Amino acid sequence: MKGIDFYIEKLKELDYRNMYNNDFILTWEKTRDELEAVFTVADTLRYMREQNISTRIFDSGLGISLFRDNSTRTRFSFASACNLLGLEVQDLEEGKSQIAHGETVRETANMISFMADVVGIRDDMYIGKGNKYIRNFSKYVRQGHEDGILEQIPTLVNLQCDIDHPTQTMADLLHLIHHFNGIDNLKGKKIAMTWAYSPSYGKPLSVPQGIIGLMTRMGMDVVLAHPKGYEIMSDIEGIASNNAKESGGTFTKTNSMEEAFKDADIVYPKSWAPYVAMEKRTELYGQGDMKGIDELEKQLLAQNKEHIDWQCTEELMNTTKNGKALYMHCLPADITDISCKSGEVAGSVFNRYRSPLYKQASYKPYIIASMILLSKIKDPAELFDKLSKNPTKRKWD
């Protein structure tokens, strides 16, 4: 097992000084070194927790979660991350259909941030809104700090927006790093990010977009597969292409699930709504046209039905590399014969991968804590050195 010195040495090799006092909003805004710093700090925090060493860097302070819809998993991951560092969580639940504008955002941002060291925002429902909201929030709290309203600048962590889902995809990637024994071993591995059938509607685009935007950084062969009509934001495809070029990997698209699965090392079959439909929905919400939304939902469910054959079956899994690709999902999945009649994945496939899937999810609290820590602590290597040399026990024993 790796000791604390391993992690400290690793950190010293990386240049991540720009993360200090900065937000984490999109993975493609970060350098490769910065991404590796997130993984290294996450691993260190997990290691120290296993060793019963406290990693509280705050004696008091608040972590604010601001969700536009309910989310048990993300909420618990964020709460766990905050608690690990010594922050108490306060939840702000804004109405689902309420899209805040300009000055209202400025007021909310200041009013809830008096003692906030971090604000985690999940706003994934409206195309063109969520990411903007996070950036505005960040701008306004920085201004609040300059104006002497806030004693500290709260770090913004994107807990899922309309564009990216960095805490999910970074946890996914850390899972891959451990699964394949090192980040360098990911080079040349084929990952299939494919659409899959779901009996439900309107799942966000942030996961497929985030996955192709991140995995192409690692020199992987990234394939995006979906039926015609299920296009994602084209900007992100452009980013993925550029990433692939720079990292020595590839980014390809196909309308065949079979093609994507063929010889894949990793498969990530997951439903999402077409980008144009999400845009349309955002428009309808803006107009308060609930009848239009109902009709759109019916249309989309019918459209989904046309592609009911897009399921991750045993047959498809058999066509992957040695029939043993790593199956991934951000959870919860639509599992055939378990959570629905027909869904994204066959029950037998899902059950076989349950343990690695939960392990995948278990990285998220550490990833979030790492993002916070790197924004708050100038020299994490020094921090870990001190914390481990004169450790406080997390739990009395």
State yes or no: residue 142 binds a second copy (CB under 8 A): no
State yes or no: residue 242 binds a second copy (CB under 8 A): no
Look at residue 119 and give its three-state secondary structure.
Answer: strand
Look at residue 100 and give its three-state secondary structure.
Answer: coil
Nearer to a second copy, 59 or 322 (CB): 59
Look at residue 327 and give its three-state secondary structure.
Answer: strand
Query: 140-167 burial, b for 16+ CB within 10 Å, e for fewer?
Result: bbbebbeeeebebbbbbbbbbbbbbbbb
Residue 226 CB, nearest approach to a second copy (Å)? 26
State yes or no: residue 57 binds a second copy (CB under 8 A): yes
Look at residue 116 and give its three-state secondary structure.
Answer: strand
Radius of gyration of the chain, Cα coordinates, nearest whole angstrom: 21
State yes or no: residue 98 binds a second copy (CB under 8 A): no
Q: Which residues have a Cβ under 8 Å from the Cβ of 15 and sit 6 or more positions away?
A: 31, 33
Note whether 376 and 57 are within 8 A (CB): yes
Amino acid, single-letter form, for residue 129: K
DSSP state of 25: -
State yes or no: residue 77 binds a second copy (CB under 8 A): yes
State yes or no: residue 90 binds a second copy (CB under 8 A): yes
Residue 116 CB, nearest approach to a second copy (Å)? 8
Task: Choose which of 31, 32, 115, 352 interacts with a second copy (CB under 8 A).
Answer: 115
Sole window of 29-37, 112-120, 159-167, 230-238 interacting with a second copy (rule: CB under 8 A): 112-120
Task: Choose which of 365, 367, 370, 372 interacts with a second copy (CB under 8 A).
Answer: 365
396, burial (CB in 10 Å: exposed 0-12, middle 13-18, buried 19+): exposed
Task: Choose which of 136, 339, 342, 348 interacts with a second copy (CB under 8 A).
Answer: 339
Task: Choose which of 8, 19, 41, 61 interacts with a second copy (CB under 8 A).
Answer: 61
Q: What string marks each residue from 181 to 210 as x (binds a second copy by CB under 8 A) or -?
A: ------------------------------
Cα 345 to Cα 349: distance, rounded to the nearest angstrom: 7
Q: Which residues form the interface with a second copy (CB under 8 A)?
A: 46, 49-50, 54-62, 72-73, 75-77, 79-80, 83-86, 88-90, 92, 103-104, 106-108, 110-112, 114-115, 117, 144, 147-152, 331-332, 338-339, 351, 354-355, 358-359, 361-362, 364-365, 376-378, 383, 392-397
